[in-house]
């Protein structure tokens, strides 16, 4: 009887330990799965955030491209301006009539463009450029680059 009880106890002890070990493995596996799931979720969220950033950056660059293209078109239109009052603008005719005035205007324009390149290369803005607010104070060739305080009026 005692031997039978001893055998039963031993069997019970072995069974209990065996199930405990299996349960520990299962708990560990569940934890690993949880980590894998969380990591996947995080990767997906990160991917979504990246797509949003890419879209935002693309829009910002496209806006900059449009602004720079408009600047070229603006210059072209300055040369081909047609006014109801004065008719078509002709730089050649105006230059022949007022050479000194036009020479001054285009000299200022050329030097302003060169200044735009200096600023774009990283040259810091002067106080005069920083504080320019009116049309007469700005660098008309690149106010967006040279005059942060200037707000163009449509």
Partner 1 sequence: MYSAPLDRVPLNLPTTDRLKLADTKWILVTPENAEKIWADLEKKKYDIVIFGLTDKGYEDLSVNVAKLKKLVQQQQSVIAAYKRYYEDQTKAIDESNQKTESIKKDAEKTNKAEAEKKSIFNLKGLFK
Closest to partner 1 by CB, 98 or 130: 98
Shortest reach from residue 14's CB to partner 1, in Å: 10
Q: Are 140 and 112 in contact (CB under 8 A)?
A: yes
Residue 60 CA to residue 150 CA, distance in Å, equals 21
- What are residue 131's DSSP bridge partners? none
* Euclidean distance between CA atoms 75 and 69, whole angstroms: 10
3-state SS, residue 88? strand
Interface residues with partner 1 (CB under 8 A)? 13, 16-17, 20, 23-24, 27-28, 31-32, 34-35, 38-39, 42-43, 46, 49-50, 53-54, 57-58, 60-61, 64-65, 67-69, 71-72, 75-76, 79, 90-92, 95-96, 99-100, 102-103, 106-107, 109-111, 113-118, 120-123, 141-142, 145
């Amino acid at each position: 009887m005692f031997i039978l009880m001893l055998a039963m106890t031993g069997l019970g002890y072995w069974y209990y330990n065996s199930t405990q070990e299996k349960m520990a493995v299962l708990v560990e596996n569940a934890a690993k799965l949880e980590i894998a799931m969380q990591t996947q979720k995080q990767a997906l969220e990160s991917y979504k955030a990246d797509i949003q950033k890419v879209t935002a950056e693309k829009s910002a660059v496209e806006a900059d491209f449009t602004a720079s293209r408009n600047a070229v078109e603006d210059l072209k239109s300055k040369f081909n301006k047609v006014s109801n009052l004065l008719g078509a603008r002709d730089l050649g005719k105006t230059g022949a009539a007022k050479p000194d005035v036009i020479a001054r205007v285009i000299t200022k324009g050329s030097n302003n463009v060169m200044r735009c390149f200096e600023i774009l290369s990283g040259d810091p803005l002067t106080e005069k450029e920083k504080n320019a607010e009116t049309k007469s104070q700005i660098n008309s060739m690149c106010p967006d680059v040279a005059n942060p305080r200037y707000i163009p009026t449509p």
